Structure 1
Amino acid sequence: MTLSALPFGAQTLSGFPPPPVRGIDLPGPFFIAFYTLVIMIGIVLAVVVATRLWKSRGGQSDDIFSAMLWAVLIGILGARIYHVISSPDAYFGPEGDLTRIPQLWQGGLSIIGAVMAGAVAVWIFCRRNGIKFGAFADAIVPGVLLAQALGRWGNWFNQELFGRATDLPWGLSIDTDQQHQGLTGSLPAYAADGGLFHPTFLYESLWNLLGFFALIVLFKRFQFRQGLIAWTYVAYYALGRFWIESMRIDEVNKSTQYPLRDVMGLDWRLNQIIAFVIFVVAAVVLVRLFMTRPRTLEEIAEHTEIYTPGSPHRAKDTALVDGAGIGDTAETASEPSLDQPPGAGPRSEN
């Protein structure tokens, strides 16, 4: 087994270096691309995190394994379909190649498409198995964001989806001899002269990693508002994606087949438009969730139960909050009043 090396050539020593390898050569015609490998590792991490969070809410680990199997398969399909639709020139244009559509190892998996398709698969799974979708999604999305943080490094191995030129010390150096040209379009002339680019993959990876830790904190803090963590993830990721997309220079989503991308005189990419719409929707839902907080014991019980009535997995005992008595509300049982000083009052049960 040998490594498929990418010679550095005559490149600047400053900035973020290009990857020395793109994958692993196996005996025969087989090749494992690191792009694929990091995605697979990310999926494993997502399952591990989701399982721990779901079990902490009283769920069964089998729920996660069964749901993630469908979510991953449907998600990959959705990721590829979204990418092909949003980048038609690469496949259906004058110089397009339809044979490259099934070549997933060459890159071209849209996270937005994967999340949308995966969410639909999980929703169907929850409906068929008597699981409350909001509670289930809350346990899944932190791990998904962690997987996305790792998965972005696949773009580094493929040397794709970088940003505009920069002179910042962490600018990304591109190996112009071995750069993966799949869907990134032609490079500017200054790339061959050691020019540096914004490492947008790194920006998004760090953004997602920060969001992962934030969601974990929120998951422990807000137990009685099912769906809050999931919609926070949606809003957070959409906001970051909108910002990062503004720096990218690849041809993806810049197709002339999308004249509506010119929004209010702004040359927005298709992903920016979609991210903006998603953020607005998520923000509206979050406001509604905060305005309809549970306040009675019955409402608390409804929001702490993760299985629907009649579900074979329905918990027999509804544990609310240690010490919560008759007349207590969700506000006193889970979240201290804003009027209280830090540390005062009962806290949520994790």
Structure 2
Amino acid sequence: MNSASAVFLATIPSPDRGVWHLGPVPIRAYALCIIAGIVVAIWWGDRRWVQRGGTKGTVVDIAVWAVPFGLVGGRLYHVITDSWRYFGAGKDPVKALYIWDGGLGIWGAIALGAVGAWIGCRRKGVPLPAMADAIAPGIVAAQAVGRLGNYFNQELYGAHTTLPWGLEIYQRFDPGNPGIPDQSPGGIAFGHIPLADSPVHPTFLYELIWNLLVAALVVYADRRLRLGHGRAFALYVAGYTLGRFWIELMRTDDATHILGLRVNTWVSLLVFAGAVVYFVAARRRGPREEPETLRSKGDEPAEPVASSETSDRE
């Protein structure tokens, strides 16, 4: 076995496609990963909400508002910051609606998703900061699951690397005409022909691992410090943006730049600073919210809360 073959066997292969068809129905890996992430976030968030003294099912009721708002916000952020992909000479503006092809900006998803969550919390009569604390680790875990969709789409990768965990990226072609290159999620990697820069840094994988570590940090700090009033959520935001900052510096895919840096690098820096300030300032609001403040009028706790210790158990 020659050295070139040894290096190839040590790398991570990419899937040959991101879309399968069940008859006329397309099954898109990116969409499945987003849906799976949403399910994880709701399930974990509801579990934490009950442990804090809230009513079972409240997170699901609020998700009915937060999830659609978040998806719209994520897509709007992507289209606005990467408008050159959809508007201008030779572009197809209708593709701005093709959310299944990838392209959800987490900043827009969180911002507009928070608006939806605020509406839901108002309708249920529960405090938004407390709800944010309950769902924080679930959100960042959902982001980790969503990054698997980028793997199937062959996107969000870095520069060429010779490290053992380098990601092989392949030339994809039109399924109906293998002679026409098509790097979209609908293309197929006939022959598994590596692109010029392959193998590359799997930055989507770096972020996936980082997100899981942030989720673990939030759970640990929440147990030890009994975080309340939005501080667990602020810790998630600070932790996530810290990782996103250095990961953005590694990425080489096309992106909008400001003063030589990717726009998401600047946003990560600014949001990190805001999250740290909030985390420190919110400490003055006192201990974590009491369980009775987390229930709508007339609601009863889903299960008895024996003590503050058991209510914190994950």
TM-score by length of 1: 0.76
Which of 274, 281, 284 is residue 267 of structure 2 equivalent to? Answer: 274
Which of 147, 153, 161 is residue 158 of structure 1 equivalent to? Answer: 153
Contact 1:15 1:173 in 2 (8 A): yes
Give the Å deviation of 1:194.
6.5
Residue number in structure 1 paired with 2:280:
287
Structure 2: distance between partners of 1:309 and 1:26: 44
Query: Does the alignment pair 1:131 with 2:133?
Result: no
Structure 1: distance between partners of 2:168 and 2:222: 38
Structure 1: distance between partners of 2:156 and 2:296: 48
Q: Greater shift after overlay, 13-22 or 270-279?
A: 13-22
1:1-350 aligned within 5 A: 12-28=8-24, 30-178=25-173, 181-182=183-184, 192-193=195-196, 195-223=198-226, 225-254=228-257, 261-262=258-259, 267-290=260-283, 292=284, 294=286, 300=287, 303-305=289-291, 307=293, 311-313=297-299, 350=313
Structure 2: distance between partners of 1:88 and 1:140: 31
Structure 1: distance between partners of 2:228 and 2:127: 12
Mark the CA change 1:95 to 1:13 in structure 2 (over 3 Å): closer, same or farther.
Answer: farther
TM-score by length of 2: 0.84
Contact 2:231 2:279 in 1 (8 A): yes
The one-letter code of the counterpart of 2:151 is W
Mark the CA change 1:154 to 1:72 in structure 2 (over 3 Å): closer, same or farther.
Answer: same
Structure 2: distance between partners of 1:172 and 1:33: 21
Structure 2: distance between partners of 1:77 and 1:348: 34
Mark the CA change 1:145 to 1:310 in structure 2 (over 3 Å): closer, same or farther.
Answer: closer
Structure 2: distance between partners of 1:222 and 1:130: 26
The one-letter code of the counterpart of 2:231 is L
By percentage of residues, which structure has more helix? 2
Give the Å deviation of 1:182.
4.5
Secondary structure of the residue aligned to 2:74 is helix
Structure 2: distance between partners of 1:319 and 1:149: 31
The one-letter code of the counterpart of 1:23 is V
Mark the CA change 1:130 to 1:192 in structure 2 (over 3 Å): closer, same or farther.
Answer: closer
Deviations along 1:187-207, whole A, 9 cap, x unmatched? Answer: xxx963573111010000000
Give the Å deviation of 1:285.
1.0
Contact 2:50 2:56 in 1 (8 A): yes
Contact 1:308 1:314 in 2 (8 A): no
Residue number in structure 1 paired with 2:188:
none
Contact 1:91 1:101 in 2 (8 A): yes
Give the Å deviation of 1:139.
0.6
Give the Å deviation of 1:308.
6.8
Give the length in aligned residue pairs.
291
Give the Å deviation of 1:217.
1.7
Contact 2:78 2:105 in 1 (8 A): yes
The one-letter code of the counterpart of 2:255 is V
Give the Å deviation of 1:321.
5.6
Structure 2: distance between partners of 1:306 and 1:222: 20
Give the Å deviation of 1:281.
0.6
Percent of residue pairs bearing the same amino acid type: 38
Q: Greater shift after overlay, 82-91 or 207-216?
A: 207-216
Give the Å deviation of 1:22.
1.8
Structure 1: distance between partners of 2:197 and 2:44: 40
Give the Å deviation of 1:306.
5.7
Deviations along 1:225-248, whole A, 9 cap, x unmatched? Answer: 321101001111111111111111
Structure 1: distance between partners of 2:134 and 2:270: 24
Secondary structure of the residue aligned to 1:156 is helix
**Aligned-CA RMSD value:** 2.8
Residue segments in structure 1 that go unaligned for 5+ positions in a row: 1-10, 184-189, 255-260, 295-299, 323-333, 335-346
Secondary structure of the residue aligned to 2:20 is strand
